[in-house]
Amino acid sequence: MLPSIARGLNSDGRDMFEMSTKDQATVVLRLAQSWWFARELEHHPITAHAEKQRLKLDRLALAQHYGIPTGYLDLTHNFDVSAFFATCRATKTGWEPVTEGIGIVYRVDLEQARNRFASFKPLGPQPLPRPDEQAAWVVELPMVHSFDGWPEVSIIQFEQNESVGEYFIKMFRGGGLLFPPDPLARVAQEILECGEIPRELAEGALTSFASDQFGIKPDQLPAVRQSISSLIHLIDYRRILEDHDIAPFLNDFEWRKRRLSDAMAKARPVRIEPVQEGANPPSHTDGNK
């Protein structure tokens, strides 16, 4: 239960400067990939729509939800969605039920998470289809800190049963409802599989880690740069999300109606806070309410 940017590394160090050169280069590249995805969002109509609707798009959180490794972990506020991912697994031909073993659902008590509440972020109101259908949240984690050690996180264990997985696969129509057609899914896949990274994004990510006191030390930079060059091909920026990728969706009236209409917030009770006597009530004209 580590953040995806820190998974699969071979180093035992808790800080970047303690990692092997190859692991340092891998983490830098993962950050650069998330920045590339964030840049591609500029070409998607939901970005301009979100600005018009005064919605905040956390672009790195969206990158995480589309499979780009980041410092986040995926969450959901829909138990059926969590049950689907807890009882089913992805294969090359689609989703199949888990037939044996122990399954786990992690439950977050937001009331206990008062001191860390800002770390938990809902990705909504959400005009993008995948985060919307998956009722997506994310939580930001330190580099090598495991989520399941947090006091507000409890672990629900259960015995896997094939029929349970089949039930949730049927509920979400083979998983298709949770992964609707979306050009950004192809963008994320291309970024992860193309074997390339824009040079300026790689250098920017490296500089970012070099400025962190727990990051990469100045004397380590030459070796990390060399390792990056051996792991991936450095290129000038190229655009992945083209206008023709978006055109079929923009020409679909139902898609436009659902994704580019006025946003409606869905309120969920989290906790009750007492109002101090004499406190001024919130202004109903406040556009940020």
Is residue 288 one of the residues assigned to a domain?
Answer: no
Is residue 88 one of the residues assigned to a domain?
Answer: yes
Which of 52-56, 172-176, 219-223, 261-265 bottoms out in mean pLDDT, i.e. has the lowest? 261-265
Residue with the larger pLDDT of the pair 65 and 269: 65
State both tokens at 172. 């979400």
> What band does 277 get if pLDDT is binned at 50, 70 and 90?
low
Is residue 258 one of the residues assigned to a domain?
Answer: no
Which of 92-106, 201-215, 275-289 bottoms out in mean pLDDT, i.e. has the lowest? 275-289
Return the half-sphere exposure (C-beta side, CA atoms, 13 A cut-off) of residue 7.
13
> What band does 125 get if pLDDT is binned at 50, 70 and 90?
low
pLDDT, residue 229, reads 95
Q: What's the angle, vertex CA 257, arms to CA 255 and CA 259, rounded to 5?
A: 60
User: Between β-strands 94-97 and 102-108, what pairing exists: parallel, antiparallel or unpaired?
Assistant: unpaired
Is residue 270 one of the residues assigned to a domain?
Answer: no
pLDDT, residue 288, reads 42
Range of the domain at 125: 4-250
What average pLDDT does this structure show over 245-268?
80
Neighbours of 267 (CB within 10 A): 5
pLDDT, residue 165, reads 96
What average pLDDT does this structure show over 14-34?
93
Contact between 140 and 147 (Cβ < 8 Å): no
Is residue 177 one of the residues assigned to a domain?
Answer: yes
> What band does 111 get if pLDDT is binned at 50, 70 and 90?
confident
* Average pLDDT, rounded, for the chain: 87
Is residue 44 one of the residues assigned to a domain?
Answer: yes
Is residue 289 one of the residues assigned to a domain?
Answer: no
Which of 7-16, 40-49, 120-129, 220-229 bottoms out in mean pLDDT, i.e. has the lowest? 120-129
State how many domains the chain has.
1
pLDDT, residue 268, reads 64
> What band does 181 get if pLDDT is binned at 50, 70 and 90?
confident
Which of 6-10, 41-45, 139-143, 250-254 bottoms out in mean pLDDT, i.e. has the lowest? 139-143
Residues 6+ apart with CB under 8 A from 54: 287, 288
Contact between 109 and 157 (Cβ < 8 Å): no
* Residue 257 pLDDT > 80: yes
Is the four-CA dihedral 131, 137, 141, 146 of positive or negative sign?
Answer: negative
Go through 81-93 and write b for each residue having 16 or more CB atoms within 10 A of its CB, e for each that does not. Answer: bbbbbbbbeeeee
* Residue 227 pLDDT > 90: yes
Give Dmax over CA atoms of the chain in angstroms: 64
Which of 62-71, 95-104, 138-147, 228-237 bottoms out in mean pLDDT, i.e. has the lowest? 138-147
Is residue 274 one of the residues assigned to a domain?
Answer: no
Is the four-CA dihedral 159, 162, 168, 172 of positive or negative sign?
Answer: positive
CA distance 282 to 289: 8
CA distance 172 to 175: 5
Contact between 65 and 134 (Cβ < 8 Å): yes
* Residue 82 pLDDT > 70: yes
pLDDT, residue 30, reads 96
Q: What's the first-to-final CA gap in the chain, in angstroms?
A: 34
State both tokens at 100. 């044996």
Instruction: Point out which residues pair with 195 in neighbouring strands.
Output: none
Residue with the larger pLDDT of the pair 36 and 45: 36
